[in-house]
Amino acid sequence: MFKKVFLSLCASVLVYGCSDAESNDTPAPSLTEKINLIATSSAGVETTLPALRYNLQNLSTPESIVVRGTDLFISNIGGGPGVSPELGFITKFDGTNNVKLTGTTKLDDPKGFAFMKDEFVFVSNHPNITLMKIKADGTYEVVSSLPVEGVAGFLNDVVALNDTTALVSDTGKGMIHKVTIKADGTGFDIVALANINAQTINGINGLAYNATTRMLYFVTSTFGGDKTHGDLYSVQLDNTFNVANAGDLVKWNDKQIGAGGLDGLVLINDNTKLIFSDWGTDNAENASKLYIYDVATKTLLTTISGAISAAADITVSGTTLYIPEFSKSKIVTVDISLVD
């Protein structure tokens, strides 16, 4: 599915992307840098992973990447998290053209997002959750934008449960909100996911979901304000997409994972493995890492390290891993087929 876009990136070494939706016939952006990442197995065996860092135009503090068909969609905060009203936007890259989606309603702080039925998209648009439609012509329409109950701490990741219901994490309050599109398509409902103990599980960030087993996975982060967090959890959802009992939560690790700045989380290899990103020690530049865990045994398989900066909400399509570098406003691509 995504090989077309990956190959188009590789073929665009000496050309530049378009600067806006009106000039979308301009060729794709240039390759700026070849880098090597290192995959280290739990047994200490190292494998070199050739990677490419791209300088796509129309990126500004990119947070999240979603693959849809042969297109990349990238959310951009456009400034500092939580303090960039009307500066946010979404970039679409089809392997040739790179455009900033346009709409009459500005976005504030778009981070995680998920495609739903038809053209609907849920966006974590702090301090609101936004339901919008992204259209094939490069425009979007905001259908409804609502605050969560109380004051949001730091709305962050979004994962679809089915074609009408998604979950949104609040890293600042350690909560997860369930959002469901109304039957008539005119808006959506929000309810906090019960039996998630915000005091214990501070800083909930990246979300992943296995629709076959109804198992939800999430990571916690020091971004929530508690420097001891940086954990991986799983919890079974019932047939109404709720957590039946707080005791159903399973913590996978006994000590903080990496530097604790855990962010993007994705199921890979037919839902048998999880891969997630860590910003690095004290959110340092060029210190980000990625971790791959085995779902069946809940054990660490591989650590990927190298010159990665501020690795945000990653995604994987096929064997291609996409890493938005938040601070550099760049994207790194790496083929992880060499990783066991």
Pick from 22, 12, 258, 275: nearest CA to 139 = 22
Cis peptide before 127 (omega within 30 of 0): yes
* Count of CB atoms situated within 10 Å of the CB of 335: 15
* Count of CB atoms situated within 10 Å of the CB of 155: 29
pLDDT band, very low/low/confident/very high, at 22 (cuts 50, 70, 90): very low
Report yes or no on whether pTM surpasses 0.85: yes
Q: Which of 79-83, 126-130, 233-237 has the lowest mean pLDDT?
A: 79-83
Pick from 39, 20, 41, 18: nearest CA to 28 = 18
Pick from 68, 88, 61: nearest CA to 312 = 61
For 86-136, how does the pLDDT look when each residue is reduced to its tens digit (9 = 90+)?
999 999 998 778 899 999 999 999 999 999 999 999 999 999 999 999 998
User: How buried is residue 272: exposed, middle or buried, by Cβ count under 10 Å (0-12/13-18/19+)?
Assistant: exposed
Q: How far apart are CA 172 and CA 221, in angstroms?
A: 10
- Domain parsing of the chain, residue ranges: 3-31+54-283+308-338
* Count of CB atoms situated within 10 Å of the CB of 131: 24
Q: Are 303 and 17 in contact (CB under 8 A)?
A: no
pLDDT band, very low/low/confident/very high, at 5 (cuts 50, 70, 90): low
Provide the CATH number for the domain formed by 3-31+54-283+308-338 in this structure.
Answer: 2.130.10.10
pLDDT score of 48 more than 50: yes
Sign of the CA dihedral with 330 first, then 139, 135, and 218 last: positive
Q: Which of 10-24, 101-115, 251-265, 284-298 has the lowest mean pLDDT?
A: 10-24
- Contacts with 269 (C-beta within 8 Å, 6 or more apart), sequence order: none
- Contacts with 210 (C-beta within 8 Å, 6 or more apart), sequence order: 217, 267, 271
Q: What is the pLDDT of residue 79?
A: 78
Q: Which residues pair with 123 in a beta bridge?
A: 113, 130
Q: What is the pLDDT of residue 2?
A: 45
3-state secondary structure 85-132: CCCEEEEEECCCCEEECECCCCECCEEEEEECCCCEEEEEECCEEEEE
Pick from 114, 106, 104: nearest CA to 77 = 106
Specify the higher pLDDT residue, 7 or 290. Answer: 290
Q: Which of 5-9, 77-81, 241-245, 277-281 has the lowest mean pLDDT?
A: 5-9
Q: Which two tokens stand for residue 108?
A: 């504030």
- Coil, helix or strand at residue 340: coil
Phi, psi of 186 (to 5 degrees): -90, -5
pLDDT score of 44 more than 70: yes
Supply the DSSP symbol for 241: S
For 303-324, how does the pLDDT look when each residue is reduced to its tens digit (9 = 90+)?
999 989 999 999 999 999 999 9
User: How buried is residue 298: exposed, middle or buried, by Cβ count under 10 Å (0-12/13-18/19+)?
Assistant: middle
What share of the chain has pLDDT > 90, as a percent?
72
Q: Which of 18-32, 209-223, 246-260 has the lowest mean pLDDT?
A: 18-32
**Sheet with strand 31-41: strands edge to edge:** 262-268, 273-278, 289-294, 299-306, 31-41, 46-54, 330-335, 320-325, 315-317
